[in-house]
Structure 1
Amino acid sequence: MSATAEQYFPLVVPATSLLLGLALLAGWRSVRGHRYLLWLAAGYMVTAVPLAAQILMDTPQLATWSVLTGALYCAGSWATAQGFALRSGSRVSARAALAVSLGTLLALLCFSRLNDVLGARIVFLNLGMGLLLALALPVLFGRDRADTLFERLLRRTYLLLVVYALLRPLLAGTLAGWFSSSGMPRSGLWLWMLAFNLLLNLWLLFLLLGGVAQQLMGELRHERNHDPLTLLLNRRAFFQIAHQRLQHGTAAHWALLACDVDHFKQVNDTWGHAVGDNVLRQVGALLQEMTRPDDLVARFGGEEFVVLLRCDDLPTATRIAERIRSGLSQMRCSPAKHTLTASFGVTLVAGAEDLESALERADQAVYRAKHEGRNRVVASPSPGAAGNICPTPSTAAVAQPDDAARKATR
């Protein structure tokens, strides 16, 4: 291999770093909400510039341009630390980063202009980069979190990056003789450092993109499973999760509650769909507020809601439904402070195989509640159960703006 080839071959490392930065930049352009990708892209790309310049420089040129290349290295390390901190929901201290950067550049100025000492410049530059990267460690490891495998690996890899950056000054000081007078880029230690940097950067990018992909899949899964208006479970997700829950429960521990807002068409016709949407959001929020976190609350479509709750018996489920009905009747859901009411159907669920039938029973109970005057709870026993529970009427009346609205059936 010729001398020229030996000099230019290490450019593979900064070129790869530049490409990795472009990949992160492309990822940020696709998901603008993940601003940390922009900072990490800057970290990769800015660091690639002084690295490529140093590879092409001889020893006198390294001294001449040491402050400028050092400033770029510090900026790249600062951007990397900021990106990882933002990814964890915080920021690194700008004052601390500025203080470390200024101290590093002052040391580079002293050991390039006043006293040209290559080893000292290497020590102070790598120490400064390591300290800048370490600014993100309190954010990454300062709180308990339920992480995926990707997240744990990413944090540990970042810690390895910081440790490696802080160990480089020690290696440079101990093995300073490895750097030849013909130029640092042709020393054995420098080439080994470049190779390790390349592998570490590739591994970091793999973990970063893997984490982004996992996060995007989670967001897509959430959008697929939830109603965009109320943020409750949708019908498909309700059936999927309910079947899983019911397979591990017993007949005496589950009840199904169906809810249908009374005269909802009147709300839309009188005050518009924006008010109607707000009503649905309020109903969904109240249902979640008045049930337990492990109960399933879903919007089945329109003004229809369903709740699967743990419950010992039908009378208990009926009392829960009555409490929700009473809470809804106290809501004021329109510019005219329209009183909101709803009709409820309640039944027990014998298991996963009974879910469809239970929904039919609860739906029939809702229509019975509407037929008997609305704003009430009707309980429907499971097949084979004796007796029935009487409807629970309410004295609250539904406000009717005109005679035509009284003819609405929903």
Structure 2
Amino acid sequence: MSATAEQYFPLVVPATSLLLGLALLAGWRSLRDHRYLLWLAGGYICTAFPLAAQILMDNARMATWSVLTGAMYCAGSWATAQGFALRSGGRVSGPAALAISLITLLALFCFSRLDDVLGARIVFLNLGMGLLLALALPVLFDSEQPDTLFERLLRRTYLLLVAYAILRPLLAWLLAGWFTSSGLPRSGLWLWMLAFNLLLNLWLLFLLLGGLAQQLMGELRHERNHDSLTQLLNRRAFFEIANHRLQHDPARPWALLACDVDHFKQVNDTWGHAAGDNVLRQVGVLLQQMTRPDDLVARFGGEEFVLLVHCHDLPTAARIAERIRVGLSQMHCSPAKQSITASFGVTMVATAQDLESALERADLAVYQAKHEGRNRLILSPSQDGTDCMLPDQQATP
């Protein structure tokens, strides 16, 4: 390889960093809610330019431009730390980052303009970059992100990146006497460290994008399975999950509760659809509060809600429905502060094959409750054909 090729070949590393930054920037333009992508793009781009400049400079020119390149390195490290902190739901300390950056730049000025000491510049610059990156560690390891394999690997890789930045000058001094080298940017150890830095950043970006893809898939799955207004399960997701539970745990007894808000059309006609939407949201919140985490609560459309609850028999299911009915009647979420009432149909579900039939029975029971005056619950006929009905609206809790 010629001297010119040897000089310019390391530019692959900053060029790759620049391309990665531009890719993250393009990702942010499509996913504006993920602001951390913009910060991470800035981190990659800000470090690409000073790295390319140092590759093309000799040690004398590096000393001349050390403060400017150091400022760009600090900005890149600060942006990277801020990006990972934002991704984890927090922020890095601005005053701490500013103080570290100013101390680093002051040291670079002293050991380039007042006294040209290459080793000191290397130590202070890498220590400053490492400390800036370390500002995100408390947020990263106290993240609210799901504890997935991608997240665990991402945290450990970021910790390795911080440790590598801090220990890099020590390793260079021990292995090759970097501090006295006259051709630092073209030394063999420099090239090996550039290669390792590139691989580490590629691996970090792979984990980052893998976690992002996993998060986006989770968001899409949530949108597919949940009603956008109430955030309850929609009809399709309800049937998928209910069928799965009934098929894989057939011995567990379940009850189906159908609930229909009374006179809901009057709310829309009188107060507008915004008020009606608020009523539906409040009803959804109450249904989730009054059921257990393993019960299913779904909005089937309009003012119709369906619940699949674990209980041993129909009287128990009736008590659950009655408790919910009373809770709804005590809500005052319409503009006129009027109480909200609902009619209930309750039946037991024997098997997955019985689910459709159970829903029909519950719907018929709701229709009967509406016909008999609303604000009541009615139990559907049991599986053996005997009637099990509460003619007056209350079942004893």
TM over 0.5: yes
Deviations 1:253-281 (A, max 9, x none): 21000001122222222222222212211
Distance in 1 of aligned mates of 2:68 and 2:60: 14
Summarize the Cα distance change of 1:98–1:176 in structure 2 as closer, same or farther, 3 Å threshold.
farther
Q: Verify the 8 A CA contact 1:119 1:172 in the aligned structure 2.
A: no
Deviations 1:62-103 (A, max 9, x none): 110111111111111111111111111111122222222122
Tell me the equivalent position of 1:149.
149
Deviations 1:232-268 (A, max 9, x none): 1100000111112222434662100000112222222
SS in 1 for 2:390: strand
Alignment of 1:91-102 (within 5 A): 91-102=91-102
SS in 2 for 1:378: strand
Tell me the equivalent position of 2:16.
16
Residue 145 (structure 1) shift: 6.4
Q: Verify the 8 A CA contact 2:157 2:204 in the aligned structure 1.
A: yes
Alignment of 1:128-139 (within 5 A): 128-139=128-139
Residue 331 (structure 1) shift: 2.4
Tell me the equivalent position of 2:160.
160
Tell me the equivalent position of 1:347.
347
If the length of structure 1 is used for normalisation, what is the TM-score?
Answer: 0.92
SS in 2 for 1:230: coil
Tell me the equivalent position of 1:75.
75
Distance in 1 of aligned mates of 2:143 and 2:336: 48
Alignment of 1:251-330 (within 5 A): 253-330=253-330
Matched, 1:85 2:85: yes
Distance in 2 of aligned mates of 1:271 and 1:108: 67
Distance in 1 of aligned mates of 2:391 and 2:356: 23
Tell me the equivalent position of 1:185.
185
Distance in 1 of aligned mates of 2:252 and 2:125: 69
Tell me the equivalent position of 2:63.
63
Residue 384 (structure 1) shift: 1.0
Matched, 1:337 2:337: yes
Q: Verify the 8 A CA contact 2:88 2:143 in the aligned structure 1.
A: no
SS in 2 for 1:390: coil
Distance in 2 of aligned mates of 1:336 and 1:97: 53
Distance in 2 of aligned mates of 1:55 and 1:276: 65
Distance in 2 of aligned mates of 1:333 and 1:136: 43
Tell me the equivalent position of 1:374.
374
Deviations 1:192-245 (A, max 9, x none): 011111111111111111111111111111111111111111000001111122
Distance in 2 of aligned mates of 1:96 and 1:220: 38
Alignment of 1:196-235 (within 5 A): 196-235=196-235
Summarize the Cα distance change of 1:79–1:137 in structure 2 as closer, same or farther, 3 Å threshold.
same
Q: Verify the 8 A CA contact 1:124 1:169 in the aligned structure 2.
A: no
Tell me the equivalent position of 1:116.
116
Tell me the equivalent position of 2:2.
2
Distance in 2 of aligned mates of 1:180 and 1:95: 35
Q: Verify the 8 A CA contact 2:258 2:363 in the aligned structure 1.
A: yes
Tell me the equivalent position of 1:407.
none
Residue 143 (structure 1) shift: 6.0
Q: Verify the 8 A CA contact 2:119 2:178 in the aligned structure 1.
A: no
Tell me the equivalent position of 1:46.
46
Q: Verify the 8 A CA contact 1:348 1:381 in the aligned structure 2.
A: no
Distance in 2 of aligned mates of 1:132 and 1:101: 8
- What fraction of aligned residue pairs are identical, expressed as a percent? 82
Q: Verify the 8 A CA contact 1:379 1:391 in the aligned structure 2.
A: no
Q: Verify the 8 A CA contact 2:89 2:143 in the aligned structure 1.
A: no
Summarize the Cα distance change of 1:252–1:225 in structure 2 as closer, same or farther, 3 Å threshold.
closer
Q: Which moved more, 1:131-140 or 1:13-22?
A: 131-140
Summarize the Cα distance change of 1:133–1:382 in structure 2 as closer, same or farther, 3 Å threshold.
same
Distance in 2 of aligned mates of 1:283 and 1:303: 9
Summarize the Cα distance change of 1:101–1:11 in structure 2 as closer, same or farther, 3 Å threshold.
same
Alignment of 1:386-405 (within 5 A): 386-393=386-393
Q: Verify the 8 A CA contact 2:256 2:347 in the aligned structure 1.
A: yes
Distance in 2 of aligned mates of 1:342 and 1:198: 62
Summarize the Cα distance change of 1:270–1:177 in structure 2 as closer, same or farther, 3 Å threshold.
closer
Distance in 1 of aligned mates of 2:182 and 2:242: 72
Distance in 1 of aligned mates of 2:144 and 2:335: 45
Tell me the equivalent position of 1:408.
none
* Structure 2 residue identity aligned to 1:168: R
Summarize the Cα distance change of 1:234–1:127 in structure 2 as closer, same or farther, 3 Å threshold.
same
Q: Which moved more, 1:142-151 or 1:174-183?
A: 174-183
Q: Verify the 8 A CA contact 1:230 1:280 in the aligned structure 2.
A: yes
Q: Indicate the RMSD between aligned Cα atoms, in angstroms.
A: 1.8
* Structure 1 residue identity aligned to 2:104: T
Structure 2 unaligned regions, length at least 5 = none
Summarize the Cα distance change of 1:122–1:176 in structure 2 as closer, same or farther, 3 Å threshold.
farther
